Amino acid sequence: MYKSGSFTRASEILATSQPTISEQIKTLEKKLGCKLFDRLGRTIRPTSKAELLFPKALSVLEEINLLEEEMAMEDQCITGDLILGASTIPGAYILPRLATAFKEEHPEISFEIRIADSGEVIGSVLNHELLLGIVGSKTASPKLQFTPFLEDQLVLAAAVKRNVSSTVSMKKFLKLPFLLRENGSGTRRSMEELGAKTGFATDQLNTVAVLGSNAAIKEAIKVNLGVSILSRISIRDELENGRIKESKVKGVTMKRMLYAVTLKKRTLPVCYRVFLARLLDMKK
């Protein structure tokens, strides 16, 4: 109801009848002595009372689920669905390997990895749509906990046939045809932060294209459309097979941290807590 904005949609999600849901809401409103939803034709909107109740109700449900899981832990069997949000680099190059190893130890676990840019993943955690996100940048929010787990090295990537030396000056770097990631991506944000520290802005770059994925950037580099700053993790295979080469920008240290993001006041289910502990082991 709160998320769907419709009695009809809520009944479809919960596989029950619309009159049943309507009656339950009326009973709850009567018991609480307040109105929870404004009926606006075919849609509904939560009132301020519902806004107050929703996170508290989530907390109660999580405590119940946590109790059930802890009871199940008697036999040391970790079960459940792990739904993770991840930005491109951790989602495509880190989580699949980690998920495979984790599932070998806990075969009853089911994984879903939703890949989006860092901003979207953080927003989904903040809006209670995801319990755990893995991102390449962080934002200032008193409601969120960002826990670093892995340092990611950024490199200047170019086609092998492009005439770029192993170390380039900042002046030469700013003249190179540059491939930029879209706004909102962790790689783009990390590059903007890097520029702020070293004295250049993205509008100073000789940008020839803005592309919406790491894969698109890599393919454009291979056909020599331009160069870009990418995570070394993401081009590991291309570096090994000689399709892409890496360079350094003189006087600039390019690295960023990858983070696990959660809501401070939400209690993670057992399977999430165990997986998060395994993720954080990567920084040891």
- What domains does the chain contain, in order, with CATH numbers? 7-72 (1.10.10.10), 73-147+264-283 (3.40.190.10), 151-257 (3.40.190.10)
According to the model, what pLDDT value does residue 5 have? 67
The label of the residue with tokens 């005439």 reads 163
Residues of the chain with pLDDT under 70: 1-7, 14, 42, 66-77, 283-284
Adjacent-strand bridge partners of 167: 248
According to the model, what pLDDT value does residue 3 have? 67
Distance CA 254, CA 234 (A): 15
Distance CA 222, CA 56 (A): 51
pTM metric for this prediction: 0.66
C-beta separation of 113 from 86 below 8 A: yes
Cα 21 to its chain centre, rounded Å, is: 33
Distance CA 276, CA 226 (A): 37
- At residue 153, what is the residue type? Q
According to the model, what pLDDT value does residue 226 have? 95
